[in-house]
Amino acid sequence: MIHKLDIKTNSQVELQEITDRVRDIVAASKIKNGICHIFVPHTTAGILVNEHADPSVVEDIAAQLDKMVPQKKNYRHLEGNSPAHIKASIIGDSRTLFIEGGKLALGTWQGVFFCEFDGPRNRSVMVKLTED
Ligand code: ZN
CA of 80 to the centre of ligand 1 (A): 6
Q: Is the separation of the CB atoms in 44 and 117 below 8 Å?
A: yes
Whole-number pLDDT of residue 16:
98
- Show me where the domains of the chain are located: 2-131
Beta bridge partners of 37: 96, 128
**Which residues lie at CB < 5 A from ion ligand 1?**
79, 81
**Predicted pLDDT of residue 35:** 98
Low-confidence ranges of the chain (pLDDT < 50): none
pLDDT at 47: 98
Q: How far is the CA of 107 from the centre of ligand 1 (A)?
A: 34
**What is the model's pLDDT at position 56?**
97
From the CA of 119, how far away is ligand 1's center (Å)?
12
Q: What is the pLDDT of residue 33?
A: 98
pLDDT on residue 46:
98
For 23-48, write each residue's pLDDT tens digit: 999 999 999 999 999 999 999 999 99
CATH classification for the domain delimited by 2-131, as one of 2.60.120.460, 1.10.3720.10, 3.40.50.2000, 3.30.460.10: 2.60.120.460
> Alpha-carbon distance 5 to 25, whole Å?
10
Distance CA 102, CA 111 (A): 17
Distance 128 CA to ligand 1 centre (A): 27
State the pLDDT at residue 58. Answer: 97
